[in-house]
Structure 1
Amino acid sequence: MAEPIALAALALDAAFGWPRALYRRVGHPVGLFARIIDGCEARWNRPGHSFAARRALGIPTLLVPLVLVAGAGWALERWVIASLGAWGWIAVAILAWPALAQRSLFDHARAVGERIDAGDLPGARGAVGMIVGRDTAALDESGVARAAIESLAESFCDGVAAPLFWLFLLGLPGVWAYKAVNTADSLIGHREARWRAFGWAAARTDDLANWIPARLSGLLLCLAGGGGWHTLWRDARQHASPNAGWPEAAMAGALGLRLAGPVAYDGVMHNKPWIGESDSDAGGGDIDRALAIYVRACLLVWLIAGGVAWLR
């Protein structure tokens, strides 16, 4: 039953994203996870605790939302299928829909490109600041475009490929358990002193959850971009993350650009290695090219989901 659920959820997300009116009224499920994690962090991640204690307390911070979400997903899936019978898969698809971010990723990256094309660099910085964690106030046009393309590539895994992978594998509890882990990693899974110990469990679990999807994402982006294989194999491991480098290297190779490189977080410059074949810097037009690759990669995901549904 997972295959028609996946296709229906993809269709709903492509058509509507997560509507602003709905967001204003009820928010988004990820916001609930964030509130739980923030509450645990405020209570347990105290400077007076030892490194070992903070690492240990980070485990229940991850497990609380993970168990709650997986349990709720399991119960809801069983209930709607038992209640609605043959039509229950439609309800499950609706419940899985908010876990996907095809439309949202496209819209956010396109907004950055539109600001650059209009010559509005401050507006472009503000738009890209909504989707990246780095400092954006001093970015030039190339830095803004590069940040948008990197986010689009990495988020193809986090927002499309990985949720679908876990939906196929474990159904509704699987996709929402993944989103709980990914949210925890984005909030506390950092290397800075405040998070290094407390966010260890979230970061390592997210690494594990994304290991296969990240590599599949790199392959799909190379297929969609008609190239980039050499850069993928050479540079995927250049990234500090064991997973993010795969889609980023694939996108850099497909576009013939360099991505990553030095970047500032909270005023501190980090000299990250470059990823890519050339010394060419990104521009506004390259965001459009990246979006075209992204759309084709999403279509490949649709074809895979449809093919598996047909075979079964």
Structure 2
Amino acid sequence: MHPIGCASACPRTPQRSNGSTGPCPIAEPVALLALALDAAVGWPERLYSRIGHPVGGFARVIGACEARWNRPDRSERFRHLAGIATVALVVGIAVAVAALAQWVAQYTLGAWSWVAVAMLAAPALAQRSLDDHVRPVAAALENGELAAARSAVGRIVGRDTATLDDTGVARAGIESLAESFCDGIAAPLFWLLVLGLPGIWAYKAINTADSLIGHREPRWRAFGWASARIDDLANLAPARIGGVILCIAGGGGWRTMFADARKHASPNAGWTEAAMAGALRVGLAGPVAYDGVVVAKPWIGGRFADPRPRDLSRALRVYRRACLLLWLIAGAVAWAL
């Protein structure tokens, strides 16, 4: 198996003029093509309705393990170890399947295997999906259709949305867009560049486990501990890189990012959220209701005014520029290698 960005499918190692051999000088832009494919077609609804999405397979494995091992009659120590085993199992499956697929592509397609690898990596990215989900919220807000905006934002956030005003809807949409920029795009791309196809799908397995069981409620605390901690580690570098990219794309926000990133309950999500708050000069987070219970979260960008309906459209423009910057990074990595 060869790392992404190297001439992994080069049929032979070229000979230099002095008779020595070295790596193939052509670097395949796997990550760049994967980003382009995701932006162009995403994961089509027709395909999703027929076979679902690959992360659905991870969810089924995690769900089966949780039903069998996370029962109330089990000891806390058992559930803690079972949670570790669950994460190891789902990541192992992801790595094994991705490594096998990459090997088959290299064996059967030779010099063109990188195209197949890019196609297999693209579903792990979420540029188009995130844009498709946030854009209707922004359009409804700007058209003054608050009920439609509440309904649309309710599909992408976990908080109560039935009583949100236009400011609350805009805030929820901006926060989701900023946080998802990391775990939906920047982090998968990072692990694709670092560890190839197995890396990007291992990350998606970890992130799926965290979203399903990595919670602090009593039911999940022991069983989901491992998934939450591993997800924190997997996002450590990508979150900070993502924050920097959002500041560049937004033309500012550095002060807010460095001052407020650690106010978030997550050690990573605050970086992209604070960067977006600073770039837009709006206040995010603050009190949020979940299942009728208000959680008093610290303000991020609290020195700024509340977001207005048009600020979600501004956030989308920053997000799209940030995605283009990731394209440039992916292309530069391929060129450099």
TM-score band, normalised by the shorter chain?
A: over 0.9
Q: CA deviation at 1:38?
A: 1.2
Q: Say whether 1:97 aligns with 2:122.
A: yes
Contact 1:231 1:277 in 2 (8 A): no
C-alpha distance after superposition, 1:263-302 (max 9, x if no partner): 1222222111000053411122001110110011111101
Of residues 198, 219, 225, the one that matches 1:173 is: 198
Q: Distance in 1 between matches of 2:153 and 2:218?
A: 26
Deviates more, 1:199-208 or 1:40-49: 40-49
Which consecutive residues of structure 2, in runs of 5 or more, have no partner in the other structure?
6-28
Q: Distance in 1 between matches of 2:311 and 2:256?
A: 17
Q: Say whether 1:220 aligns with 2:245.
A: yes
- After TM superposition, list the pairs within 5 Å mapping 1:226-237 onto structure 2: 226-237=251-262
* Residue in 1 that maps onto 2:21: none
Deviates more, 1:266-275 or 1:250-259: 266-275
Of residues 284, 291, 299, the one that matches 2:309 is: 284
Write the letter of the residue equivalent to 1:275. I
Q: Distance in 1 between matches of 2:184 and 2:332?
A: 21
Q: Distance in 1 between matches of 2:264 and 2:163?
A: 23
Which is helix-richer, 1 or 2?
Answer: 1
Larger radius of gyration: 2
Write the letter of the residue equivalent to 2:76. F
Q: CA deviation at 1:176?
A: 0.3
Write the letter of the residue equivalent to 2:4. A
Q: CA deviation at 1:2?
A: 2.3
Q: Say whether 1:238 aligns with 2:238.
A: no
Of residues 222, 231, 235, the one that matches 1:206 is: 231
Contact 2:284 2:302 in 1 (8 A): no
2:258 is paired with a residue of what secondary structure? Answer: helix
Write the letter of the residue equivalent to 1:157. C
Q: CA deviation at 1:133?
A: 1.5
* Residue in 1 that maps onto 2:331: 306
* Residue in 1 that maps onto 2:208: 183
Contact 1:7 1:302 in 2 (8 A): yes
1:271 is paired with a residue of what secondary structure? Answer: strand
C-alpha distance after superposition, 1:127-151 (max 9, x if no partner): 1111111222222211111111011
RMSD: 1.1
* Residue in 2 that maps onto 1:113: 138
Of residues 219, 226, 231, the one that matches 1:194 is: 219
Contact 2:281 2:304 in 1 (8 A): no
Which consecutive residues of structure 1, in runs of 5 or more, have no partner in the other structure?
none
Q: Distance in 1 between matches of 2:152 and 2:81?
A: 37
Q: Say whether 1:48 aligns with 2:50.
A: no
Contact 1:262 1:269 in 2 (8 A): yes
Identical pairs, percent: 64
Q: Distance in 2 between matches of 1:299 and 1:279?
A: 27
* Residue in 1 that maps onto 2:4: 2
* Residue in 1 that maps onto 2:159: 134
Q: CA deviation at 1:20?
A: 0.6
Q: Distance in 2 between matches of 1:166 and 1:24?
A: 28
1:270 is paired with a residue of what secondary structure? Answer: strand
Write the letter of the residue equivalent to 2:91. L
Q: Distance in 1 between matches of 2:292 and 2:56?
A: 27
Q: Distance in 2 between matches of 1:278 and 1:194?
A: 37
* Residue in 1 that maps onto 2:299: 274
* Residue in 1 that maps onto 2:38: 13
Of residues 64, 81, 85, the one that matches 1:39 is: 64
TM-score by length of structure 2 reads 0.90
C-alpha distance after superposition, 1:221-256 (max 9, x if no partner): 000001000001100000000000000000000000
